[in-house]
Structure 1
Amino acid sequence: MKHIIPELLSPAGNPESLKAAVENGADAIYLGSKEFSARGHADNFNNDQLLRAIDFAHQRDVSAYITVNTLVKEQEIEGAVEYLEQLCNHGADAVIVQDQGILNILNKHLPGLPVHASTQMSIHNSAGTKLLESMGVKRAVLARELDIEEINTIRSATDIQLEVFVHGAMCICYSGRCLMSSFIGGRSGNRGYCAQPCRKEYSLERNTMSSKYLLSPRDLNLSSRLQDLITAGVDSIKIEGRMKRPEYVAVVTRIYRDILDRLSTNPTARATPDEMRQLEVIFNRGFNEGYLNGDPGRKLMSMDAPGNRKGILLGHVTGSNPKRGTITVKLDASINVGDGIMAGGKGTSIHLLWMGWHKVSSAQAGEVVTFPYGFAITTGTPVFRTFDS
């Protein structure tokens, strides 16, 4: 049986990211206005910009899906309907929705506007997809918490299109069911203003563990599992990142485009070592494959740092000399004079490198090196390469 290569769907949080996605091989883009969008902190588009963005995509044979994926209050319904009518009249390829009331309005009054059920609707079983299909929904964006067998089961039970996240940030709470931001920060993720409490530092009472980022997940990276999703019959693979930089959108979109193109002729294709290196350098909190293999347990978490690790893990600090302003590192990867590094949240470039008392220009994994670093740092701190010499 010949399997169809899925659509590549990339984020467009602003006009620059829109161009980056389109120019690097996205089949479709998703974007939102400054209202009714679950990424209220993204730059987003005003109404005129949004309509021009739809035109820009269509002129290049790229589909444009508009996020209307927040919960809509009673007093906002009239404005939401006017906005949806505008999108329908301008030829948006679909709207992505969470609110079931909005879904009902679309079915009754705008049946010509295709609807995608947001991952915020927590679609996690075949009964849910069948219900959506009966309501005229064209596509379900599946919850991130599903494993590959569950995706296979859902696919066999419904004809609705299935969309799956393959790269980017993950939430500690179940898709669409996070109330932490509302409780802790007074800002609702379901209204587009998540305060990201899962990225904060916490400590456990009556526990000797030092405070860590106990609720901060790693980033999803399924670049080596795309064939499994193709075999499962997934229709669209989605890159998270409407709040990421255009450079991120460009690099990640191009790599996934290239992998999909290779898979069209070679079912064993996957990310190359160089592509993995590029994905690590552009942004990562540490990668894993999420729930695709089942419950990942603690492997899901990135408890040492909540933000971008900014590169490839070089090794860990084994000692420091504040008087000389140097640190010593046991290497897990190669290093060269001229490389950029980051440790303990501070960055610099390597202009001198020693092994013992000998000055060297490079060193390999397994070796111990010393180099100048003008910041206080503790033993055990991870060191990352942020750019190559």
Structure 2
Amino acid sequence: MVINVMIKREVVGFRANTVEKTGENRYRVWPNEMPADLHKVRPHQPLNRNLDHNWQQALLKTSSERRIAVDVTLSGWQEQLVLTMTCEDGVSVTHTLDGEFTEANQAEKALANLRDGVTKLGQTIYYAREVQVNLPPLFVPNSLLNQLRRETAEMLDEARLNAWQRGTRKPVSVPPPVYPETHLSFLANVYNHKARAFYQRYGVQLIDAAYEAHEEKGDVPVMITKHCLRFAFNLCPKQAKGSIKSWKATPMQLIHGDEVLTLKFDCRPCEMHVVGKIKNHILKMPHPGSIVASVSPDDLMKTLPKRKGA
């Protein structure tokens, strides 16, 4: 781990592999290399850890991988192997493999190979939860055992798909719900006909086009944020004494080069509105999602007629 400590207003860091807990919030640390100024540390100066190797290794491991538990049972006799897989949802399949399997010379090693062979499910969506080998110590080539395991896992995939029942949608409520507003401004971001039809289905009568449609050419709020510069500058009317009727904040301006944005304040919901006007060069650009906007310059050059002699 890496530990740092403040020494005369400077942060000094060092590595330590050995740490011993001596009490509550008290540790004894052995640095790998003693920093030159460590003896200047004041007594009871707190130490801070900014790198934990074990924690970093834990984060690098796969922790969100979702796999399905299966119970595996291998049985049979010398002429046939029987492999059964049952997933955690109760779906079960059984597959057989015919052959001439002889008893192995090393019984313990043979049983271990059989157990390992049917539990290697790393390339599938399953993992072996319980494994039972109800079989004498037979010698089974790894190629045949792998084939039996793969085919059984594929059968389980198909069986799970066949057993899955698609959920049903809730019935449409009658009468349909009514949207609380009958007029939507451009802030609702209704840009395509699908969105417009959705709101009209639920009672909205007047729908303004989204800002991307280039129909709002005057000063409009381009951003509404809870972060308020008046509050940051201790100029919030709510902090002043008085009744709520006196809460009135005059607008401010943000100036960056030639850009001027007006800040308007809605104090009741504690919102700051950044007001601006769409630029002329943006108005000349094609609308997002239009055919013209999706054509690259190279494709556009291909549509031009070829010059004579070229």
TM-score (norm 1): 0.18
Between Structure 1 and Structure 2, the one with more strand by share is 2
TM-score (norm 2): 0.22
Kindly name which structure, 1 or 2, has the bigger radius of gyration based on alpha carbons. Answer: 2
Between Structure 1 and Structure 2, the one with more helix by share is 1
Ranked by relative contact order (alpha carbons within 8 Å, sequence separation 6 or more), the top structure is 1
